[in-house]
Amino acid sequence: MTAVRKSTPLGRNDELEQIVRAFVGAASQCPIHCALDAVNWPGMRAKFIAPLHPLFVVAVVPHIACEVFDMSITKSEVLIIGGGVMGSAIAYHVARQGRQVLVVERSEEVASAPAASWASAGGVRRQGRHPAEAKLAVEAIKRWRTLEEELEASVQYRRGGNLLLAESDAEAEQLVMFVREQQDLGFTDVRLVDRQEVTALVPGLHVGVVAGSYSPADGQADPALTTRAFATAAQRLGATYWKGSAVLALLKEGEWVIGARTGRGEVQAEQVVLAAGAWSDELAGAIGLRLPIKMAALQMVLSTPASRQVLQPVLSAAGRALSLKQVNDGAFLIGGGWPGDPTADRRSYTLREDSVKGNWETACELLPAVGEQRIARAWCGLEALSIDDLPFIGPIAGLDGLTVAIGFSGHGFALAPAVGRAVAEQLLGRAVPELDGLRAGRIESFQRDAVQEFLG
């Protein structure tokens, strides 16, 4: 119970490698607003890289406010640190209960670079979930179908399915067991599909695909639009947002976490929710809570828009690091966990040329239609990876008044509607059994040596 304290195409690799190197190098040299006209690629740009566009930004340094300290004290029932998709989903559900809630967000706008809610691939899936996430995933998928009506805003949700591909007989055999496991979790519509049905679902796949696991209920949505929709809906219900305001420290009184110190002054709250994503460990560490999470820069690549829609489901492959989808304007959005590097100050990132090149080539090889386009943008989001790849959600023993929702490890976006509801219920002291396998208390179960090795 939560305590409450009242009061690129193949065959052109050499040229692609030169372009990617220049592309990434320019981003590193001009990290604030680096457009392609800062780079000169005679005779090569048109082969791979999109024509210049005023919105072409390779890397963005997040706004770091220089704040004048306000010594006033603000009080709230619930204080949420972080206005990303999780923080804003929680804020919406808390406000819907009629409770007073204040959200403190370090950026001038929610879902800003380089936060995960800005950079996420936007997959909405049940397929491939850990059993501990299964109940939340089932709930979330149902919520997504009517979320735009509920929030009164577009989130560009599209139910196009999720297709996991096998490219060998051995991988196909693994998918047989995988599909059985998915059905045992309650995902009864997940099914094994043969080469013929795979081709019907996605015409134009390369000939090496032999089978797939298909989840028709899954889909995709726009992460930034979703985050802003939750935030706007929360504010309509009375929630307050402090944007462009960094949280400098959590405040403790004995064993209680009683609020936070921000650039706009002190906030005292009956309950504090830490949902600051990749930056949560900094705040937690300052009050003696060592979280087994670490920051990682995960890369995305976006193509120029194709003239027609050729891909409905979100694609992944059993033997490849790949997530591939086609968004509403026809562009291909490519991810799969390819790494960049967080900067030393943990406020931005640098791209890796091998990741940009590898990510692009992998997508082109699997779906040749991608290779008919050019690279339009590449970026990284700063994600919080947990030691067991599962989030920590709930109260922390010995720190009364504090609840965490952190460590979603690059696959939390789809769960946001369910996590928001569950945390809001938990804050009221209600039992939420669907969070049992994700309870924050399991932090204490990891051996010190294992945590040290994970954190590096």
Domain ranges of the chain: 73-153+222-293+387-455, 162-216
- Cβ atoms of 192 and 176 within 8 Å: the answer is yes
- Cβ atoms of 111 and 228 within 8 Å: the answer is yes
pLDDT digits (tens, 9 = 90+) for 234-282: 999 999 999 999 999 999 999 999 999 999 999 999 999 999 999 999 9
Confidence at residue 379, expressed as pLDDT on a 0 to 100 scale: 95
Confidence at residue 3, expressed as pLDDT on a 0 to 100 scale: 64
Percent of the chain with pLDDT over 70: 84
pLDDT digits (tens, 9 = 90+) for 306-364: 999 999 999 999 999 999 999 999 999 999 999 999 999 888 999 999 999 999 999 99
- The model's pTM: 0.86
pLDDT digits (tens, 9 = 90+) for 112-141: 888 888 888 999 999 999 999 999 999 999
DSSP letter at 281 equals H
pLDDT over threshold 90, residue 11 = no
φ, ψ dihedrals at 212, nearest 5°:
-160, 165
Per CATH, the number for 73-153+222-293+387-455 is 3.50.50.60
Alpha-carbon distance 74 to 64, whole Å? 22
Alpha helices by DSSP H, listed for 268-350, are: 280-285
Percent of the chain with pLDDT over 90: 78
- Cβ atoms of 278 and 117 within 8 Å: the answer is no
> For all residues of the chain together, what is the average pLDDT?
87
CB atoms within 10 A of CB 169: 10
CA atoms lying within 13 Å on the CB side of residue 286: 13
pLDDT digits (tens, 9 = 90+) for 352-397: 999 999 999 999 999 999 999 999 999 999 999 999 999 999 999 9
152 three-state secondary structure: coil
Strand 265-274 with 402-406, pairing: parallel
